[in-house]
A and B are shown apart, each in its own frame.
Chain A
């Protein structure tokens, strides 16, 4: 490639496909216009240097958002990234160690524990970084970074002015956000990576029998829904982290998330194939009753109580968010 080709390529390589050829053709004809007839190498160098750094020229052509996360969100991105990576890595380490402890007596192999720990920690850190980055990139492009409501192009009014100090009643504390982040990640990593940890452990004759709560095959059906709801939860957490006070769209998103997780809980608890039959047997043995009795009292009583409690908490959480947003 000659110098002009290389220059044109350097300018246009980052432009979008539908513009690239036209910009390239025009740039080339302009450069050739600036050159004398039968130009020497020196003439070409002179003209290209006059045109300047190709990257700068490319920026002039398309001064759009060519960055993932801008300066407005960068600080908050970095601090949340650290928090999320810290939490996911420690949750994964915890889950891995717990999994190793309960796999007694096959757990004498320390080498495999250490490789598992390293692999899981790295995997968790990468996952955390990817998701946090994606969420921030989306929020960056929906206007949250300019202190706007996402997806709206509403003009700024005085009402949007921060009240100076956010009243404590309206404030979302970082500790609270961090805590919900921790439990969300704990919940999803246990369900996703090692659902068998939720089990009863019967220690008998120097061996431990583990009866998992869930039937793993059945749980797999729900995994997509669980992951999607978790993702929504993570988006809300990030959004809370950025905004650090309640507002209407956030309260609406929070309600949507609460409704979705309530529906999921109802499905999970009413699904008679989700809970391992052996688990009921195990409980029955411990309680000296029949498995049928346990099953009956679970589906007729306990699960309904759990659902009602869950829905009441979800409703309370949703409604109080609206009140906090209004204040």
Chain B
């Protein structure tokens, strides 16, 4: 019984954490694409900065962002394995700056709320 309860608790926490992270996903990706990157290099780059993102989430996300006009892509066939490189478009750069500001405001506001709770 207790095991079941713990499992359910873990599941709930996990899904809430995923929910929280999902909102930051686009911003994380945009922040790393000033210079062209291909799918796996981006996974590694994010991993180095201890942002874990599933490959199965990232690859489709890149295509979606391209479709929305935030990224441009190009196949590089000069190396032994052809790779598709993505980089911020002009619009993407503007959107990134905008989102960055939004994020800072948001985290400040949230910090305020959380801090208030600790003070009590």
Contact = CB atoms under 8 A, between A and B. Distances in A.
Interface stretch (B10-18, B57-65, B87-95, B106-114): B57-65
A21 B40 CA distance: 19
Contact of A29 (B57, B61, B83): B83
17 contacts: A23-B63, A25-B82, A26-B39, A29-B39, A29-B83, A30-B55, A33-B39, A33-B40, A33-B41, A33-B81, A34-B55, A50-B56, A51-B55, A57-B56, A60-B60, A61-B60, A61-B63
B84 interface: yes
A143 interface: no
B116 interface: no
Nearest to A33: B40
A208 B6 CA distance: 82
Contacts of B43: 34
Contacts of B55: 30, 34, 50-51
Nearest to A53: B56
Interface in B59-85: 59-61, 63, 75, 81-84
Contacts of B83: 29, 33
A27 B40 contact: no
**Residue among A32, A33, A61 with most chain B CB within 10 A:** A33
Nearest to A25: B82
A29 to B, nearest CB: 5
A254 B84 CA distance: 53
B119 interface: no
A60 B61 CA distance: 8
Top 4 nearest A-B pairs by Cβ distance?
A33-B40, A60-B60, A30-B39, A61-B60
A33 B42 CA distance: 11
Given A26-B63, A30-B55, A57-B60, 14 more contacts: A23-B63, A26-B39, A29-B83, A30-B38, A30-B59, A33-B38, A33-B39, A50-B56, A51-B55, A51-B56, A56-B56, A60-B60, A61-B60, A61-B63
A51 B59 CA distance: 10
Contact of A60 (B41, B57, B81, B82): B57
Contacts of A26: 39, 59, 63, 84
A46 interface: no
A6 to B, nearest CB: 16
Contacts of A29: 38-39, 81-84
A249 interface: no
